[in-house]
Structure 1
Amino acid sequence: MKLSLLAVGLGVLTAMQTSSAVDRLEGRTFVTRSPAVGANGMAATSQPLASMAAIEILRAGGNAVDAAIAANAVQCVTEPTSCGLGGDLFAIVWDDKTQKLYGLNASGRSPQLLTLAEFERLGHKTIPKYGMLPISVPGCVDGWFMLHQRFGKLPMEQVLAPAIAHARDGFAVTEVIAKYWAGGVEARSNQPGWADVFLVDGRAPAQGETFRNPALASTLEKIAKGGADEFYRGDIARQIDRFMRDNGGYLRYDDLANHRSDWVEPVSIHYRGYDVWELPPNGQGIAALQILQLLKRYDLARAGFGSADHLHFLLEAKKLAFEDRARFYADPTFAPAPIKELISDEYAKQRSMGIDPLRAATNVEAGDPVLRDGDTIYLTTADKDHNMVSLIQSNFRGFGAGPCPPGLGFCFQNRGELFNLAPGHANSYAPGQRPFHTIIPAFVTKDGKPVMSFGVMGGDMQPQGHVQILVNLLDFKMGLQEAGDAPRVRHDGSSTPTGEAATENGGTVYIESGIADNTHRELARRGHQLKFGDGDFGGYQAIWYDADKNVYFGATESRKDGIAIGY
């Protein structure tokens, strides 16, 4: 890279730069389409029935929070390959009445009966992906009711009605979900109850086949009437307790009864004239902020989208942020992270000294932010009153751990897999602790006003995806849909909060088609290990509010089944 690319300031955008039809059809190596537009409301999800449910709720007088809960509940029915009542939830809400962002951490904690000594007795050095050991308390349902109690308008019976109908009457399975469904069978078919809930005649439902889940319909009806208490302190909780006792699990009634979600303060950094907001750990959202703080030092617009300089600096910044992620990100109740320092300009300046503009790093370590002397779903909704919701919910690893209690219609998440079993680590396993989390919602404001709610699903891809979307929008001036359709890269091989060490060769860079051959050659010359078209590049949804026109633009992920609908 030439030194002239360093530290060049950019003008502030006054509105989203939308591409013209000619721009979209010519001069690009990738295909995109128009964003959805709506003046009264918008929903963008990864499953069409979920987007339709959100719009149905908005048109019935509900607000963005009602619509988000309705959409998520429908996805728990129609997209069990990624989310469900047995998973966790995080959300960022813009409340127009108070002109403020609110963050909700609705992630669950580890069972009190399960200890490090038990893992040692069982001979585990890491936590298994499937079965009873990675199960933590599901936070999703409590998250719905926390959001609804504070912001909701319509009764929960009405909000959950679309999901109940799809579970009882059935829905046609979409293409991408059918693929993930089939891919989840081998690992879980021997888990108690899983095949009874999710297989049809011993197989996954095919694309276009109607699938019904009457047990889940019944569970949702009970929750709609009895609230979160029904799930955490009522008959459902007692059924879960019996199932765990009968099958060697560790989760108990008291774990569920003592669960609570927490309102948290979102944190932000300033990037190219906008404030980018994420939630603090135990999630990984601040990794996106750390990467952006490093990228602020380079004129990416001048480098050009898809250039070697653009991707090299993106990848090197990611490596630095992820080593800090591995060391510091955890449940703040057990190991508070120095968040203010990690996302500061001063720390970014210090860390940027480790970036070689001409060579890929192969050995990256976590920094010292104290600065002493020296298969997840994402959805977003917006309403006519300018409330906006950024919500993400997941089982982890698709269907999750696998075990399904009889008669309830859902399986449990395996988020507990992301604990570290090494004593003394920030993310070390302990009873009653929240694990490190990968799912992160995001939000953008400008001058204290809402601009954009967005997210990119996909495990470790999520902060990388957040950054690439924002760079596409704010550095390369792409439109909202175009920013998601543009080819992405993903770096694997950094250290992880579970204790996995970074790979010695600097990891692998996965590249989607659409990046030029000369960029491939230059990245390889700088030492990046490349692999093409193989990997998960995430799933993007977004809503942009144009205050001048008083209209929403909506975008959805072309790599998934979803749609954005405005009205």
Structure 2
Amino acid sequence: MRDFQMPGRSAVFATNGMCATSHPLAAAAAIDILKSGGNAVDAAIAGAVLLGICEPQMTGLGGDCFVLLKPAGEERVVALNGSGRAPAGLSAAALRERGLAAVPLHGVEAVTLPGAVDAFCRLSADWGRLGLAETLAPAIRYAEEGVPVAPRTAFDWAAAADDLQGAAREFYLLNGQAPRPGQIFRAPGQAEVLRRIAHEGRAGFYEGEVAEDMAASLQALGGTHTLADFAATACDYTTPVSGTYNGIELLEHPPNGQGATAILLLNILKHFDIAAMDPFGAPRAHVEAEAAKLAYDARNRFLADPAHTTRLDHMLSADTAAALAALIDPARAMASPAALSEAVHRDTIYITVVDRDRMAVSLIYSVFWSFGAGLASGRFGIGFQNRGAGFTLTAGHPNEAMGGKRPMHTIIPGMIRQNGRVTMPFGVMGGAYQPNGHARFVSNMVDFGLDPQAAIDAPRSFSGAEGMQVERGYSDAIRAELAAMGHSVSIPDTPIGGAQAILIGADGVLQGGSDPRKDGCALGY
């Protein structure tokens, strides 16, 4: 139980249904859908699409999604890949000939086809009850009437404003400036697009005037995107990958998502007595950081479009994890994880909904970097993602950029199953941090007995390209101890990630947790 004299938030308890996400209006819209007779899929679509209006820097119709779905009355989990492909005309060789070593983050070359809308339409048709007209109604209304910009959203918006280019500046800035908290953001162009999707389904987005607006806008920027590319966009059902950790089973979306990285990370951590460590002391943060370096190195080597990922079994094997764990010095940070692991490898917004029938949805939906590529279509103002920056330009690499191919994605929805029963849909936002965030969240609960809200609230650290970032929730003494181990320690400018979770109790009670690092909440009824 938390100390009620200290800042924090209580978990939310309910029995009929629950939503946890990063904006209150989206959570409320999802609950309204449940109350009106919709199921978890209807509610998740309603909330997710509205998040594109509430948090346009994070997500939108030009983005991608991944979904894990537990059907009502079953314990199996279905995965849906709603990530778009590169336009047919994309060529890594052509980019290399231009002297590029990487796909430009804010260039039209990074814009892949938006896959989320097709996935939402497929989910609604296959699993929903209400139909798109009703589930998209809240987002249409808010896009027209406007949404007061929330504090964390305004913070992110201001940080990314300079990355907006051309038409995106007209649609996503107010008088040339990022909106302040409480200012009203409207997106009437997107309201029109949503009306077309509500009445025509996917054809209202991937064909006709909306597709023409997107294709023409991208071509004007030098893109190879065609109407045929948009029309060919299609989601795919697939099977989750899974791994076990101290009595629980972690289910993740398979490649081209990076969920296997979280499983590998936990497999490495099994070789250390994490539960015996101080949960927020330097030794645990150090071992987790070293394990993450090795797991992410494996990700960078192997994960790609599903048709090009050939070493997934190797990445998930117990032998691989044991060999990588043996490379970790419990007292010293490694200088070159890629070089050390060479011998071993030789041969993302988030929303979760649970309904009264215990259908559970774990859905993550993103444009990658803040405001994606910083580009938008000229007529309707659809922001374009920069998922193509997830490709590599290294010739022959499984994740080499190529027309018609899906890039490696950072966004990953998660679910936990215990003793054969799905007990928790959850997700951790935060780009590259997400697999580390999944592992930390699971370990917080399994190794230290924290409830979902406490596991979310707990301080975070992450070792990535910018060194070891350690949130202010850790003391200066811990940071000094980590620095003495050889880590390049800093306090991040922004919080590390954001998380949401719903625990499905065996007694029928739902318990929702929502990250205070974001504007959102868990709501139930």
1:340 pairs with 2:330: no
Of 508, 517, 525, 1:559 maps to: 517
Pick the aligned partner of 2:331 from 341, 346, 358.
358
1:514 paired to 2:473? yes
RMSD: 1.7
- Contact kept, 8 Å, 1:87 with 1:140, in 2: the verdict is yes
Instruction: Classify the secondary structure of the residue corresponding to 1:337.
Output: coil
For 1:437, the aligned partner's letter is H
Instruction: Describe the shift of the 1:61–1:110 C-alpha distance in structure 2 as closer, same or farther (beyond 3 A).
Output: same
- Judge conservation of contact 2:193–2:204 (CA < 8 Å) in 1: no
CA displacement at 1:296 relative to structure 2: 1.3
Give, in whole Å, the separation in 2 of the partners of 1:113 and 1:524.
47
In the TM superposition, residue 325 of structure 1 has moved relative to its aligned partner by: 0.9
Q: Kindly tell me: are residues 517 and 424 of structure 1, through their superposed partners in 2, closer, same or farther at Cα, counting changes over 3 Å?
A: same
Q: Contact (CA 8 Å) 2:90, 2:401: kept in 1 or not?
A: no
State the partner residue of 2:286: 312
Contact 1:268 1:276 in 2 (8 A): yes
- Cα 1:271–1:371 change in 2 (3 A) is farther
Match of 1:168 in 2: 144
Separation (CA, whole Å) in 1 of partners of 2:482 and 2:168: 44
Q: Which whole-Å CA distance do the structure 2 matches of 1:312 and 1:85 have between them? A: 39
For residue 508 of structure 2, the aligned residue among 546, 550, 562 is: 550
Alignment of 1:102 onto 2:78: yes
Using the TM superposition, name which of 484-493 and 93-102 deviates more: 93-102
Q: Retained in 2: the 8 A contact 1:103–1:279?
A: yes
> Percent identity over the alignment?
39
Matched residue, 1:421: 393
Q: Is contact 2:324–2:344 with CA below 8 Å preserved after alignment?
A: no
1:266-321 deviation line (CA, Å, top 9, x unaligned): 01111111100111111111111111011112221211211222112111110110
Letter matched to residue 24 of structure 1:
D
| Matched residue, 1:540 | 499
Instruction: Please point out which of 175, 190, 200 is paired with 1:216.
Output: 190
Alignment match of 1:280 (pick from 239, 254, 257):
254
Gaps of 5+ in 1: 1-19, 494-506
Asked if structure 2 preserves the Cα contact closer than 8 Å seen for 1:461 and 1:536, the reply is no
5 Å matches for 1:292-331? 292-331=266-305
Contact 1:508 1:528 in 2 (8 A): yes
In 1, the alpha carbon distance for the partners of 2:344 and 2:25 equals 45
Is 2:5 aligned against 1:33? no
For structure 2, the residue ranges without an aligned partner over 5 or more in a row are none
Please give the per-residue CA displacement for 1:366-403, whole angstroms capped at 9, x wherever unaligned.
4566797xxx4111111000011111011111111122
Question: How big is each residue's C-alpha offset from its partner over 1:124-174, in whole Å with a ceiling of 9 and x where there is no partner?
Answer: 221111131111100010110121122111111000000000001111111
TM-score (normalised: structure 1): 0.89
Amino acid in structure 2 at the alignment position of 1:424:
G
Aligned ranges 1:49-60 → 2 under 5 Å? 49-60=25-36
Q: CA distance change for structure 1 residues 314 and 247 in 2, over 3 Å: closer, same or farther?
A: closer
Q: Does 1:523 align with 2:482?
A: yes
- State the AA in 2 paired with 1:522: E
Distance 1:535 1:168, change over 3 A: closer
The residue number in structure 2 matching 1:17 is none
Distance 1:108-1:533 versus aligned 2 partners, 3 A rule:
closer
Q: Which residue does the alignment assign to 2:96?
A: 120
1:81 aligns with 2:57: yes
Partner residue of 1:255? Answer: 229
Equivalent AA in structure 2 for residue 488 of structure 1: R
**What's the TM-score, normalizing by structure 2?**
0.96
Distance 1:121 1:357 in 2: 44
In structure 1, what is the Cα distance between the partners aligned to 2:227 and 2:343? Answer: 41
Kindly provide the amino acid, as one letter, of the partner of residue 127 in structure 1.
Answer: V
1:469 to 409, 417, 441: 441
C-alpha spacing 1:114/1:557, structure 2 compared with 1 (3 Å):
same
Distance of 1:320 and 1:536 partners within structure 2: 23
1:121-520 maps to which residues of 2 (within 5 A)?
A: 121-188=97-164, 191-333=165-307, 335-365=308-338, 366-367=341-342, 376-493=348-465, 508-520=467-479
Q: Which sits farther off after the overlay, 522-531 or 137-146?
A: 522-531
Matched-pair contact (CA < 8 Å) for 1:102–1:266: yes
Q: Report SS of the residue matched to 1:129.
A: coil
**What amino acid maps onto 2:255 in structure 1?**
P
Letter in 2 for 1:462: Q
Say whether the 8 Å CA contact 1:73–1:163 is kept in structure 2.
Answer: yes
| Cα distance in 2 between the residues matched to 1:261 and 1:536 | 32
**How many Å separate the matches in 1 of 2:344 and 2:129?**
43
CA distance in 1, matches of 2:89, 2:515: 41
Contact residue 487 and residue 515 of structure 1 kept, 8 A: yes
What's the CA shift for 1:59? 0.3
Equivalent residue for 1:502?
none
Aligned residue pair count: 523
- 13, 24, 44: which one aligns with 2:3: 24
Letter in 1 for 2:205: F
Partner of 2:244, secondary structure, is strand
Amino acid of the residue matched to residue 187 of structure 1? D
Q: Secondary structure at the match of 1:184?
A: helix
One-letter identity of the residue aligned with 1:453 = P
Report the secondary structure of 1:460's partner residue. Answer: helix
Shift of residue 466, structure 1, vs aligned partner: 0.9
Q: CA deviation at 1:438?
A: 0.5
